[in-house]
C-alpha cells in the first residue's frame, strides 16, 4: 500500500484512481481499508474510491494515544496529499465517528456523508467497562494473541455471530497489543457529538442493521433526525454491526442512488 505522512504519523491508503468523483471509505475498529472491498468493487468504475488505514490499524502504526478528531484531520491530510478538494465520505461504525467529525471540521470539503452502523453519542459506560475488560485480557495474552473467547466476543459484536468474522479473526489475533490499546482508548474516550449534528450541512444517509450488537437502530435514527440534510435512516433487516461486509447488496443498493445524486455536488 502507498503511504503518506501527516506530521509524525505514517498512514497507509489505497486509491483506485481515475477521473470519477471521489468517495472516501473509513473503516471500523479492528479493521482496515480492505473491509470496503464489496463497495470498491461495485463503485470503482464510476467513482475514484479511496480507502485508508486509521491510526493503530493495518499499515498505520502509531506511538501514542489519539482522538477521532485527529483521525479526521488525518483523512483531510490524505485529501491534501492527493490534491483532492472535496469528496463524499462513507464510514462504518468507527469510520462513521471519524466521518461525522470530518463534516464538522471541514464542511466545505464534504459533498455527501453516509454513516453505517454508527453513533453520534459517547460510548455508554457499560460498554466502556466491557471493552476495557476485553482489552485487559487481550493485553495479558501477549505475543500468543487473544484467546478464542475474546475473538468470539469481537465476532459476535461486529458480525452478529461467533463464527462470522472469518479471516478477520487472524488479523485480530496478530494485532499488536499496543496498537489495539491505543485504538480502544480512542473508541471509549470519544466525545458526544449529538448536540452538534445540526451543524452538518452535507446531504447525509444513515444505514443501520437490526442485528447490530453494538449500537441499536435508535443510534442511527438519532443521527438521521438531527442532521438537517438527512435523507433518512435505511434500516437493513438482519444487518450486523459491520453491515458493509455482512450485507453488501442492500448497502450498495442504497449507496448507489445517493452517490449518484450527491457525489459531484458543488460545495
User: Would you put residue 65 in left (φ > 0), alpha (ψ -120 to 50) or beta?
Assistant: beta
The dihedral sign for the CA sequence 170, 176, 177, 183: negative
139-159: pLDDT as tens digits: 898 878 899 999 999 999 999
Tell me if 76 sits within 8 A of 106, measured CB to CB. Answer: yes
Same domain, 129 and 161: yes
Instruction: Specify the number of domains making up the chain.
Output: 2
Tell me if 48 sits within 8 A of 10, measured CB to CB. Answer: no
Task: Kindly give, in sequence order, each residue whose CB lies less than 8 Å from that of residue 8, ignoring residues fewer than 6 positions away.
Answer: none
Same domain, 117 and 163: no
The whole-number mean pLDDT for each consecutive block of 10 residues of the chain, a chain of 267 residues, reads 97 97 98 98 98 98 98 98 98 98 98 98 96 92 88 96 94 95 97 98 98 97 98 97 97 98 95
Domain containing 206 — which CATH number? 3.40.50.1820
Burial (CB < 10 A; 0-12, 13-18, 19+), residue 163, is exposed
pTM confidence score: 0.97
- Number of other CB atoms surrounding residue 258 within 10 Å: 20
Write down the pLDDT at residue 63: 97
Structural domain boundaries, residue 134: 125-183
Write down the pLDDT at residue 71: 98
Rounded distance between C-alpha atoms, residue 84 and residue 109, angstroms: 9
Rounded distance between C-alpha atoms, residue 122 and residue 136, angstroms: 21
Same domain, 154 and 133: yes
Write down the pLDDT at residue 173: 94
DSSP state of 57: B
Same domain, 117 and 129: no
Write down the pLDDT at residue 96: 98
Tell me if 207 sits within 8 A of 237, measured CB to CB. Answer: no
Helix (H) or strand (E) holding 41: helix 37-43
Same domain, 100 and 213: yes
Residue 22 within a domain: yes
Residue 267 within a domain: no
Write down the pLDDT at residue 138: 87
62-80: pLDDT as tens digits: 999 999 999 999 999 999 9
Task: Label the pairing between strands 3-6 and 21-26.
Answer: unpaired
Amino acid at each position: 500500500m502507498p503511504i503518506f505522512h501527516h506530521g509524525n504519523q505514517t498512514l497507509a491508503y489505497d486509491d483506485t484512481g481515475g477521473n470519477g468523483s471521489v468517495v472516501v471509505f473509513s473503516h471500523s475498529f479492528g479493521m482496515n481499508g480492505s473491509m470496503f472491498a464489496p463497495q470498491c468493487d461495485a463503485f470503482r468504475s464510476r467513482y475514484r474510491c479511496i480507502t485508508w488505514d486509521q491510526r493503530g490499524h493495518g499499515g498505520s502504526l502509531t506511538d501514542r494515544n489519539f482522538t477521532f478528531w485527529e483521525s479526521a484531520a488525518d483523512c483531510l491530510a490524505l485529501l491534501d496529499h492527493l490534491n483532492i478538494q472535496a469528496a463524499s465520505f462513507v464510514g462504518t461504525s468507527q469510520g462513521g465517528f471519524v466521518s461525522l467529525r470530518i463534516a464538522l471540521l471541514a464542511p466545505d470539503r464534504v459533498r455527501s456523508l453516509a454513516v453505517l452502523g454508527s453513533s453520534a453519542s459517547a460510548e455508554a459506560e457499560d460498554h466502556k467497562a466491557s471493552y476495557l475488560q476485553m482489552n485487559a485480557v487481550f493485553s495479558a495474552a501477549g505475543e500468543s494473541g487473544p484467546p478464542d473467547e475474546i475473538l468470539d466476543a469481537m465476532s459476535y459484536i461486529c458480525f452478529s455471530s461467533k463464527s462470522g468474522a472469518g479471516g478477520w479473526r487472524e488479523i485480530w489475533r496478530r494485532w499488536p497489543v499496543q496498537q489495539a490499546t491505543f485504538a480502544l482508548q480512542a473508541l471509549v474516550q470519544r466525545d458526544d457529538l449529538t448536540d452538534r449534528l445540526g451543524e452538518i450541512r452535507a446531504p447525509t444517509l444513515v444505514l443501520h442493521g437490526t442485528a447490530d450488537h453494538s449500537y441499536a437502530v435508535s443510534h442511527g435514527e438519532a443521527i438521521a433526525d438531527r442532521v438537517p440534510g438527512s435523507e433518512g435512516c435505511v434500516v437493513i433487516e438482519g444487518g450486523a454491526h459491520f453491515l458493509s461486509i455482512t450485507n453488501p447488496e442492500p448497502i450498495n443498493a442504497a449507496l448507489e442512488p445517493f452517490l449518484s445524486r450527491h457525489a459531484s455536488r458543488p460545495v
